[in-house]
């Protein structure tokens, strides 16, 4: 589709305000650590440049997108530069290698996808949502507000749990700030690394993944910056398969091809979602956990920049679904509001597609938007995969109720979702049997060394890499994945919980002196006994590890760890030693009296209180008999002799009959 330099091209150059020869310095030959251009490509002659423009060197490069016809005709629409240059230096003056970099996005992607775009764009973009750039700059992938607020809170550097800071200052100026949904009006730019230890840690370690920076040059973590982070696909090895003869095919750091796509596979998401409490969900989805596991487990491999160990994948992944099949444009790009928490920005819920035992799915998310890839056909809900086009039927709980195939656990009243006025279970509380739990985060800050990158500045288009004092290293005490803890999430529902950074800080100053050794921060927040919380977070999570089979009744109602009470005495032998006698074991977030022992950095989240613990433990009475449900022959005899307990009254009648029958048989 590439064409010769024409009158249209020259007019376009003038239209976009691009001079024929820019006085700016040429763009660096090195982007992402690798040489962009092969030295053997010969310089074109002026006649060839006039006829072919950029294609005089880049002939064979792919069309960027069938929807971006102007950009395919005219490279400078996005990349700028000088199409009439006869040398690489002349042609690349003022050029952007990655036009989607957020530092320049208003000049590039914002031309068509910004609020004031003068161009007609596709209906899908223009239906009140055409300002993709503005939405993205307010989204959590751009602000990192959740990571920032939780880290600063657990280090004791801010009082409240709500977000105050972002990577860049951002303001919601449209006058619509739904605070009841967790939105905030504005966020300030994150302070300098000298401001606090938390800010230094965030800048030099935790904020490696966000839309203002390119990915790490590590196998499985190659991504571009800005919009290209998602929309331009990278292979795990970071090597180009492009037809462009000027791009090296053996040096990593390049997208697979010069193609923008909205069909984003799970593998692309995993280049970022592969570590950290919130981002590790990507690994869980494909059935992998970090490999630093207890008991010396074997079978590990190096995947997405970290050694991993295989567990059971999410049922949606096994069915062939990609992340974007559930997560809509507003879930990912943001809806124009500024949020502190991922759970507030994401509007998809299990009930959106599967309904409840009483009600068929509405296929409308919590934001009120109709799912674009799921439709009702002949009483069934059919999902079309956004990447492959594969169609899947979505199971409906209400149909299972009508057919009599609804699992018994889903008919138990406290388990049923969408009951007003009381706590209920998130579906994945039972159906997520695996939750990665990284216990004891041992961090060391060494002021004698410089961190190579300030990740708030990031790595990207025409931004020099900034280093500054304070090198951070760290490791966990141990990692588990079985018997996930349960607690209440910010919506008041029962959900899995896990450690969200339990910091032990060692600090070495510039003179080599140990300022702190395994220090545990103390928060100003206190539990109901007045004890200050350690700066450890036990937070709710949606682990993305759903399986068709649920957890057993015993795993939730009889295992102390699942209830947040920790492991039995002697079972926590791998806990890191510490000197403070009042610190709980790393897995214990509440005591038997319902007193909270560890903090939560998520607003509204907490462990079970005493009444809830007692209620949950009462179900042990049921389990005395029903723990033998795995023996079908035994229960067939019970049902053959006494019938099925379809109602509480039936259950009471059967128990009375069993007791009377037992007494009669015991009498002489």
Selected residue with higher pLDDT from 465 and 15? 465
SS3 37: coil
In this predicted structure, the answer to whether residue 406 has a pLDDT above a threshold of 60 is yes
| Structure tokens given for 304 | 């997405």
Per-residue model confidence as pLDDT tens digits over 126-170: 334 567 888 999 999 999 999 999 999 999 999 899 999 999 999
Q: Read off the pLDDT of each residue in 209-224 and give the average, rounded to a whole number.
A: 90
In this predicted structure, the answer to whether residue 171 has a pLDDT above a threshold of 90 is yes
Q: What angle do CA 609, 611, 617 make, to 5 degrees?
A: 100
pLDDT band at 573 (very low <50, low <70, confident <90, very high): very low
SS3 624: helix
Per-residue model confidence as pLDDT tens digits over 409-437: 887 777 876 555 455 889 999 999 999 99
DSSP state of 590: B
What confidence score (pLDDT) does residue 48 get? 61
**Contact present, 296 and 419 (Cβ < 8 Å):** no
What confidence score (pLDDT) does residue 308 get? 86
What confidence score (pLDDT) does residue 476 get? 87
In this predicted structure, the answer to whether residue 78 has a pLDDT above a threshold of 70 is yes
Q: Which of 482, 475, 439 is nearest to 574 (CA)?
A: 439
Q: Read off the pLDDT of each residue in 606-614 and give the average, rounded to a whole number.
A: 93
SS3 515: strand
**Contact present, 562 and 486 (Cβ < 8 Å):** yes
Question: pTM higher than 0.95 for the full model?
Answer: no
Average pLDDT, the chain: 83
Which residues, in sequence order, are bridge partners of residue 377? 380
What is the Cα–Cα distance from 539 to 500, expressed in whole angstroms?
Answer: 6
Residue 301: its H or E element: strand 300-303
Q: Read off the pLDDT of each residue in 294-304 and give the average, rounded to a whole number.
A: 60
**Contact present, 290 and 479 (Cβ < 8 Å):** yes
What is the Cα–Cα distance from 651 to 89, expressed in whole angstroms?
Answer: 83
pLDDT band at 555 (very low <50, low <70, confident <90, very high): confident
SS3 306: strand
Least confident of 126-130, 302-306, 651-655: 126-130
Q: What angle do CA 296, 220, 326 make, to 5 degrees?
A: 95
In this predicted structure, the answer to whether residue 523 has a pLDDT above a threshold of 80 is yes
Q: Which of 204, 102, 196, 188 is nearest to 452 (CA)?
A: 204
Domains in the chain: boundaries: 7-126, 430-571+583-623, 631-666
Per-residue model confidence as pLDDT tens digits over 458-507: 998 878 889 999 999 998 888 888 889 999 998 889 999 999 889 999 99
SS3 223: coil
- DSSP string covering 352-412, please? HHH--SSS----B-TTSPBPSSEEEETTEEEEE-TTT--EEEEP-HHHHHHHT---GGGGS
Least confident of 259-268, 316-325, 439-448, 457-466: 457-466
Residues 6+ apart with CB under 8 A from 11: none
What is the Cα–Cα distance from 549 to 546, expressed in whole angstroms?
Answer: 9
| Structure tokens given for 478 | 């141990």
Least confident of 27-41, 343-357, 482-496: 27-41
Q: Tell me, letter by letter, the H, E, C secondary structure of 417-483.
A: CCCCCCCCECHHHHHECCCCEEEEEEEEEEEEEEECCCCCCCCECCECCCCEEEEEEEEEEEEECCC
SS3 82: coil
pLDDT band at 294 (very low <50, low <70, confident <90, very high): very low
What dihedral angle (degrees, nearest 10) is formed by the CA atoms of 528, 531, 498, 548? -20
Residue 502: its H or E element: strand 494-508
What is the Cα–Cα distance from 606 to 502, expressed in whole angstroms?
Answer: 16
pLDDT band at 122 (very low <50, low <70, confident <90, very high): very low
């Amino acid at each position: 589709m590439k064409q010769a330099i024409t009158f249209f091209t020259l007019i376009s150059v003038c239209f976009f305000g691009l001079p024929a020869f820019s006085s700016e310095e040429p763009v660096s030959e090195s982007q992402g650590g690798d040489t962009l251009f092969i030295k053997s490509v010969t310089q074109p002659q002026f006649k060839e440049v006039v006829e072919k423009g950029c294609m005089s060197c880049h002939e064979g490069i792919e069309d960027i997108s069938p929807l971006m016809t102007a950009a395919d005709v005219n490279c400078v629409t996005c990349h700028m530069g000088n199409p009439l240059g006869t040398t690489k230096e002349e042609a690349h003056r003022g050029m952007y290698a990655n036009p989607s970099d957020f530092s320049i996005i208003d000049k590039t992607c914002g031309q068509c996808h910004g609020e004031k775009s003068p161009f007609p764009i596709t209906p899908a973009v223009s239906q009140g949502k055409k300002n993709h750039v503005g939405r993205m700059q307010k989204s959590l992938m751009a602000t990192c507000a959740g990571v920032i607020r939780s880290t600063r809170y657990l280090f004791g550097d801010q009082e409240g749990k709500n977000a105050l800071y972002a990577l860049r200052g951002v303001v919601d100026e449209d006058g619509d700030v739904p605070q009841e949904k967790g939105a905030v009006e504005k966020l300030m730019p994150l302070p300098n690394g000298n401001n606090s230890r938390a800010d230094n840690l965030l800048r030099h370690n935790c904020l490696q993944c966000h839309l203002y920076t390119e990915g790490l040059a590590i196998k499985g973590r190659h991504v571009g910056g800005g919009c290209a982070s998602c929309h331009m696909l990278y292979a795990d090895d970071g090597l180009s398969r492009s037809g462009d003869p000027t791009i090296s095919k053996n040096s990593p750091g390049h997208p697979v091809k010069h193609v923008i796509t909205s069909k984003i596979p799970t593998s692309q998401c995993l280049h970022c979602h592969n570590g950290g409490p919130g981002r590790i969900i990507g690994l869980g989805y494909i059935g992998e956990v970090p490999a630093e596991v207890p008991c010396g487990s074997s079978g590990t491999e190096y995947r997405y920049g970290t050694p991993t160990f295989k567990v059971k994948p999410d049922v949606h992944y096994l069915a062939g679904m990609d992340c974007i099949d559930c997560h809509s444009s507003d879930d990912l790009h943001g809806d124009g509001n500024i949020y502190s928490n991922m759970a507030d920005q994401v509007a998809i819920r299990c009930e959106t597609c599967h309904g409840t035992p009483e009600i068929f799915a509405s296929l409308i998310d919590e934001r009120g938007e109709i799912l674009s890839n799921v439709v009702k056909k002949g009483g069934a809900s059919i999902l079309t995969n956004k990447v492959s086009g594969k169609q899947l039927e979505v199971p409906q709980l209400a149909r299972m109720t009508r057919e009599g195939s609804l699992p018994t656990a889903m008919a138990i009243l406290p388990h049923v979702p969408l009951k007003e006025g009381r706590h209920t279970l998130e579906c994945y509380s039972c159906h997520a049997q695996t939750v990665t739990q990284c216990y004891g985060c041992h961090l060391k800050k060494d002021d004698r060394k410089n961190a190579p990158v300030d990740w708030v500045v990031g790595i990207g288009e025409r931004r020099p890499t900034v280093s500054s004092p304070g090198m951070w290293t760290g490791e966990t005490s141990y990692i588990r994945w079985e018997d996930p803890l349960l607690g209440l999430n910010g919506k008041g529902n029962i959900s899995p919980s896990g450690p969200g950074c339990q910091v032990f800080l060692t600090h070495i100053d510039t003179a080599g002196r140990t300022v702190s050794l395994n220090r545990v921060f103390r928060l100003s927040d206190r539990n109901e006994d007045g004890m200050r919380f350690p700066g450890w977070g036990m937070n709710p999570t949606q682990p993305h590890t759903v399986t068709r089979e649920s957890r057993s009744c015993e795993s939730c109602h009889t295992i102390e760890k699942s209830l947040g009470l920790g492991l039995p005495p002697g079972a926590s032998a791998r806990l890191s030693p510490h000197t403070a006698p009042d610190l709980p074991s790393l897995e214990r977030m509440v005591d038997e009296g319902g007193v909270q022992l560890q903090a939560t950095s998520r607003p509204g989240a907490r462990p079970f209180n005493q009444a809830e613990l007692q209620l949950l433990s009462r179900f042990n009475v049921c389990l005395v008999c029903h723990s033998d449900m795995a023996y079908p022959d035994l229960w067939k005899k019970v049902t053959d002799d006494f019938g099925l307990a379809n109602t509480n009254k039936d259950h009471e009648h059967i128990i009375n009959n069993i007791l009377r029958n037992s007494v009669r048989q015991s009498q002489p």
